[in-house]
Amino acid sequence: MKIDKQRLLDGYRTMRVIREFEERVHKEFMTGQIPGFVHLYAGEEASAAAVCQQLGEYDTVASTHRGHGHSIAKGCDVMGMMKEIYGREGGLCGGKGGSMHIADLDVGMLGANGIVGGGAPLVCGAALTAKTLKTGGLSVAFFGDGAFNQGTTLESMNFARVYDLPVLFVLEDNGYAESTASSWSIGGHDPVRRAEGFGIKGARVDGHDYFAVYRAAEEAVAAIRNGEGPRFIHIEFTRYYGHFEGDAATYKKPGEVQDERRYLDALKFFRARTTGGGMLKAEDLDAIDAEVDTLIDAAVREAKAAPPPALSTLTTDVYLSY
Amino acid sequence: MSVKSIREALNEAMRDEMRRDPTVIIMGEDVAGGMGAGGEQDAWGGVMGVTKGLMPEFGRERVLDTPISESAFIGAAAGAAMTGLRPIAQLMFVDFFGVCGDQIINQLAKFRYMFGGKAKTPCVIRTLYGAGTRAASQHSQCVYPVFTHFPGLKVVIPSSAYEAKGLMTQAIRDDDPVIFFEHKAMFDETGEVPDEPYTIPFGVANLTREGKDVTVVAIGRMVGFANQAADALAKEGIECTVIDPRTTSPLDSETIIASVRKTGRLVVVDEASPRCGLASDISAIIAEDAFDALKAPIKRVTPPHSPVPFSPVLEDAYVPSVADIQESVRSVMGSGASARVLEGAD
Ligand SMILES: Cc1ncc(C[n+]2csc(CCOP(=O)(O)OP(=O)(O)O)c2C)c(N)n1
Ligand SMILES: [Mg+2]
Q: Which residues partner with B247 through β-bridges?
A: B156
Mean pLDDT, rounded, for A138-154: 98
CATH code 3.40.50.300 for B206-342: no
Cα(A177) to centroid(ligand 2), Å: 4
**CB-based contact, B314 to chain A, within 8 Å:** yes
Rounded distance from Cα A150 to ligand 1 centre (Å): 10
Q: Which of the residues B64, B103, B313, B315 would you substitute to probe the A interface, choosing the one with the greatest number of A C-beta atoms within 10 Å?
A: B313
A117 with B99: Cβ contact below 8 A: yes
Share of residues in chain A with pLDDT > 90 (%):
97
Cβ contact, residue pair A36, B310, below 8 Å:
yes
DSSP-derived secondary structure letter, B107: I
The residue-averaged pLDDT of A74-103 equals 98
Ligand 1 lined by B225 (C-beta under 6 Å): no
B338 touches chain A (CB under 8 A): no
pTM greater than 0.90 (yes/no)? yes
Structural domain boundaries of chain B?
Answer: 2-193, 206-342
Q: Is the predicted pLDDT of residue A286 greater than 90, yes or no?
A: yes
A252-to-A27, A78, B33, B50 alpha-carbon distances in Å: 21, 31, 11, 21
B96 lines ligand 1 (CB under 6 A): yes
Of B41, B307, B312, which is closest to A35 when you measure between CB atoms?
B312
Rg (CA), chain A: 19
For residues A246-275, give the mean pLDDT. 94
Write out the H or E segment, with its range, that includes residue B248.
strand B247-249
Catalytic residues of B: 139
Is the CB of residue B37 less than 8 Å away from at least one CB of chain A? yes
Helix, strand, coil percentages, rounded to 5, for chain B: 40, 20, 40
What ligand 1 atom has the least distance to the C-alpha of A145?
16
pLDDT at B284: 98
Q: Where are the domains of chain A?
A: 5-305
Q: Using CA atoms, how far apart are residues A185 and A251, in angstroms rounded to an integer?
A: 15
Our answer on whether the CB atom of A66 is closer than 6 Å to any ligand 1 atom is: yes
Q: Is A266 in the pocket of ligand 1 (CB under 6 A)?
A: no
Specify the pLDDT at position B236: 96
* Residue B261: predicted pLDDT: 98
Mean pLDDT of all residues in A45-57: 97
Which mutation among B68, B73, B128 tests ligand 1's pocket best, with the greatest number of atoms within 8 A of CB? B68
Domain B2-193: assigned CATH number = 3.40.50.970
Q: What is the pLDDT of residue B339?
A: 39
Flag whether pLDDT at A126 surpasses 50: yes
B61 has a chain A CB within 8 A of its CB: no
pLDDT of chain B along its 346 residues, tens only?
999 999 999 999 999 999 999 999 999 999 999 999 999 999 999 999 999 999 999 999 999 999 999 999 999 999 999 999 999 999 999 999 999 999 999 999 999 999 999 999 999 999 999 999 999 999 999 999 999 999 999 999 999 999 999 999 999 999 999 999 999 999 999 999 999 999 999 999 999 999 999 999 999 999 999 999 999 999 999 999 999 999 999 999 999 999 999 999 999 999 999 999 999 999 999 999 999 999 999 999 999 999 999 999 999 999 999 999 999 999 999 954 443 334 333 3
> What CATH number should be reported for the domain whose range is A5-305?
3.40.50.970
List, as own/partner pairs, every contact residues B37-40 make where C-beta atoms lie below 8 angstroms and the sequence separation is at least 24, other chains included: B37/A176, B37/A179, B37/A180, B37/A181, B37/A184, B37/A251, B37/A252, B37/A253, B38/A181, B38/A252, B38/A253, B38/A256, B39/A249, B39/A250, B39/A251, B39/A252, B39/A253, B39/A254, B39/A256, B40/A250, B40/A251
Helix spans in A89-150 (H): 119-133
Length of chain A: 322
Average pLDDT of A121-142?
98
With a 6 Å cutoff on the Cβ, whether A174 touches ligand 1 is yes
Instruction: Identify the band that residue A1 occupies on the pLDDT scale cut at 50, 70 and 90.
Output: low
Q: What is the pLDDT, as a whole number, of residue B336?
A: 41
Decide: B167 and B174 in contact? Cβ < 8 Å: no
